[in-house]
Amino acid sequence: MKNNKDSIILGIESSCDDTSAAVLINGKIYSNVVANQEVHTNYGGVVPELASRAHQQNIVPVVDQALKKAKITTKDLSAIAFTKGPGLLGSLLVGTSFAKSMGLGLNIPIIDVHHMKAHIHAHFIQTFNKKEKKIPEFPFICLTVSGGHTQIVLIKDYLDMTIVGETIDDAAGEAFDKAAKLLGFDYPGGPLIDQYSKKGDVSKFKFTYPKVNGYNYSFSGLKTQFLYFLEKNKNKDSRFIQNNLADICASYQNHIISYLFKNVKKAMNQTGCKDLAIAGGVAANSALRKQLKELGQEKSYNTFIPEFEYCTDNAAMIAISGYFLYNAGQFAQQNISPTARITF
């Protein structure tokens, strides 16, 4: 089936607790298979050792399914893109080693991808059987909010990105997950806060913003603030959480969103960008998506939100990132190692 001019890229993502493989043919996604790891649910966070073991179990069937869904075989592949970092080292090692050996076996190039840049590249994903999606125009600002990162990035071209502001401690996703844990939710609690917030009053409880320089963020103080807020109220009413769950979630979630947008608006003003995007797992949050659209209408920005399946970790974003690097002739060598912390 392979035409010599086709570029067929297999993307592999294994940076945290999702094992994923995707096939991209001439810039379009033909398959995107994700195996979520249930094993962490009761631990309040991802357990690195369990994550790497689960990746080892999942990677072969996930890659196999991605190839089958795209109706291709390994012989059709032009290159393999994989996540080099940032992420959990043990998890990254599984995807990296797999990509390296598969590339060596098939004698095709391998491409190392930066996970956070890939979250942004998710905006350029077109799916083969779906209507062509509108994509942001350069230069644009992207607010990338995930479980490990919170960044405001200026994107001048596919491979020309600069961080304008970022968190100096915890990520926005952690602010969701840690508060969720205090409320008694399983990990990851972000989606549950989202769900309960739908019936809550956003102005019932107030939280304060920390003082941070420039367009940077700090979320670690918010977690402590939330802990003291719950303790104080539980001392007065032992059923405080049960009696106010929706309002607590809505107020807390709304506070995080307002805080995120505060710096984004400043960055949009300063850069003069007209296009504003969000990316990363927290971009799956329904209130954040809704408020982004409202902000766009208010400020006349063009706003962009990736499809739900391309917000949380997925290999389609790794494949599209790999495609831009492939076109630029930027390949990895066989001696490459994954890196838990990696510069942008």
- β-pair type (275-279, 126-127): unpaired
Least spacing, CB of residue 304 vs ligand KG4, in Å: 17
Least spacing, CB of residue 316 vs ligand KG4, in Å: 13
Prior bond to 338 cis, omega within 30? no
CA dist., res. 146 & res. 85, Å (int): 14
Tokens of 80: 């393999």
Q: Residue 219 binds which one of Zn ion, ligand KG4, none, with CB within 5 to 8 A depending on kind?
A: none
Is residue 91 part of the contact set for Zn ion (CB under 5 A)? no
Quick one: which of 188, 200, 306, 322 contacts ligand KG4 (CB under 6 A)? 188
Quick one: which of 11, 90, 109, 147 contacts ligand KG4 (CB under 6 A)? 147
CA dist., res. 116 & res. 153, Å (int): 10
Least spacing, CB of residue 134 vs ligand KG4, in Å: 22
Closest C-alpha to 142, from 253, 32, 252, 301: 301
CA dist., res. 293 & res. 250, Å (int): 18
- Binding mask 157-176 toward ligand KG4 (x if CB under 6 A, else -) reads ----------------x--x
Quick one: which of 95, 190, 322, 338 contacts ligand KG4 (CB under 6 A)? 190
**Which residues are within 8 A (CB) of 1 and not within 5 positions of it... i.e. 6 or more apart?**
71, 72, 76
Name residue 80's beta-bridge partners.
10, 110
Residue 56: count other Cβ atoms within 10 Å of its Cβ. 17
Is residue 86 part of the contact set for ligand KG4 (CB under 6 A)? no
Is residue 194 part of the contact set for Zn ion (CB under 5 A)? no
Name residue 112's beta-bridge partners.
82
**Interface region with ligand KG4, contact rule CB under 6 A, candidates 52-60, 64-72, 146-154, 199-207:** 146-154
**Interface region with Zn ion, contact rule CB under 5 A, candidates 142-150, 215-223, 260-268, 325-333:** 142-150
The smaller minimum CB distance to ligand KG4, of residues 8 and 94, is found at: 94
**Which residues are within 8 A (CB) of 228 and not within 5 positions of it... i.e. 6 or more apart?**
none
Quick one: which of 313, 318, 319, 320 contacts ligand KG4 (CB under 6 A)? 313
Name residue 33's beta-bridge partners.
21
3-class DSSP state for residue 342?
coil
- Binding mask 276-295 toward ligand KG4 (x if CB under 6 A, else -) reads ----xxx-xx----------
Least spacing, CB of residue 144 vs Zn ion, in Å: 8
CA dist., res. 259 & res. 276, Å (int): 16
- Binding residues (CB under 5 A) for Zn ion: these are 146, 313
The binding site for ligand KG4 (CB under 6 A) comprises 16, 146-148, 173, 176-177, 188, 190-191, 194, 280-282, 284-285, 312-313
